[in-house]
A = this chain, B = another copy of it.
């Protein structure tokens, strides 16, 4: 497999590159910047902006498999400027797909959003066949990209897989980008700052440890079967208060908690049905929530102490 990872400098990208590097014939990592440059030592890094067509074409040339992990926005920021979200995610993805077609790429694996694509779910756990009515422009962009992937396969034979990932957590997730509540909580806890909660803490989400997401990405790259879109989650829901309790346990710290009013993009309860990924990809989460939380805390503390992060996550 000759791979390009787009959005390689971020949380999932860094973890994916570390897993791909020893396994594939070639690997090219593309992104605006590396969140953890030391982690990417020895990996071919192509700096560039996803909205710049020439850079993207360079990154994918000669590759058979492209992992598209770029997120130019967050669920909250996307609603503030919906047009900017469209222009920074959907439009450059269309240029990417055209470039993939021209370059003879065989398969594109796209990270979609299990947490936003269904909107207010009518069925929980939510299967892939559920209605998709996002309440954030972020989810609409993801949905549009899924549909364009389907179109490119239909018209041009460009193979693809979509992973609708729940809330991933683990090492290399930073607390700075207002995504990743576990990273934010752990950072606040490790810094002895108050933990900040939107809403009353009852909001239930589906959390999945990052190495399980990476396993799903590797499986999706090899998958032969009829389905194209797979939910990837931890298989269970946990409230914010549940998470705080686990953090207290793994950290030994009892943080102060500050509550703020909920936001309109916050869905009360979101859990993915992961039956299809299990059946077709042979995939299931391998790392228990508590184990994942322990590993993430150990990494967060090492970061805090200025110790180089452990690559063997």
Q: Is A63 an interface residue (CB 8 A)?
A: no
Question: Are B151 and A147 closer than 8 Å at their CB atoms?
Answer: no
Residues of chain B within 8 A of A36, CB atoms compared: none
Residues on the B chain within 8 Å of A13, using CB: none
What separation, in Å, do the CA atoms of A131 and B147 have in the docked complex? 11
Q: Name the one of B98, B131, B144, B154 contacting A144, with C-beta atoms under 8 angstroms.
A: B144
Q: Is A133 an interface residue (CB 8 A)?
A: yes
| B154:A147 contact, CB within 8 angstroms | no
| Docked CA distance A155–B133 (Å) | 13
Q: Which of B82, B132, B133 contacts A94 (CB 8 A)?
A: B82
Q: Mark A121-145, 1 if CB is under 8 A from B, else 0.
A: 0000000010111111100100110
Query: In the complex, what residues of B have CB within 8 A of residue A147's CB?
Result: 132-134, 140, 143-144
CB distance B91 to A87 under 8 Å? yes
- Name the interface size band of chain A: 20 to 34
Known: A83-B95, A94-B82. A140 touches B135 (CB 8 A): no
Q: Give complex CA distance A132, B143 in Å.
A: 11
Contact pick for A135, options B94, B129, B151, CB 8 Å: B151
Which A70-98 residues sit within 8 Å CB-CB of chain B?
79, 82-83, 86-87, 90-91, 94-95, 98
B82 touches A151 (CB 8 A): yes
A264 within 8 A of B: yes
CB <8 Å contact, A137 and B143: no
A148 at the interface (CB under 8 A from B): yes
Number of copies of this protein chain within its complex = 2
With a cutoff of 8 Å between Cβ atoms, the chain B residues found around residue A83 in the complex are: 91, 94-95, 98
CA–CA, A136 and B150, complex, Å: 10
| Contact between chains at B94 and A90 (CB < 8 Å) | no
Is the pair B148, A135 in contact by a Cβ cutoff of 8 Å?
no
Contact of A155 among B132, B144, B264 (CB under 8 A): B264
| Whole-angstrom distance between the Cβ of A72 and the nearest chain B Cβ | 15
A54 shortest CB reach to chain B, Å: 15
Q: Mark A7-43, 1 if CB is under 8 A from B, else 0.
A: 0000000000000000000000000000000000000
User: Which residues from chain A sit less than 8 Å from chain B, CB to CB?
Assistant: 79, 82-83, 86-87, 90-91, 94-95, 98, 119, 129, 131-137, 140, 143-144, 147-148, 150-151, 154-155, 264
A-B contact pairs, 17 of them (CB 8 A): A79-B155, A82-B94, A82-B98, A83-B94, A83-B98, A86-B86, A86-B90, A86-B94, A132-B147, A133-B147, A134-B147, A134-B151, A135-B155, A136-B151, A143-B147, A154-B264, A155-B264
Please provide the 5 A-B residue pairs with the shortest distance between their CB atoms, ordered closest to farther.
Answer: A83-B94, A140-B147, A144-B144, A135-B154, A82-B94
* Seed contacts A86-B94, A119-B150; 19 additional CB < 8 Å A-B pairs: A79-B155, A82-B94, A82-B98, A83-B91, A83-B98, A86-B86, A86-B91, A90-B90, A90-B144, A132-B147, A133-B147, A134-B151, A135-B154, A137-B151, A140-B144, A143-B143, A143-B144, A144-B144, A154-B264
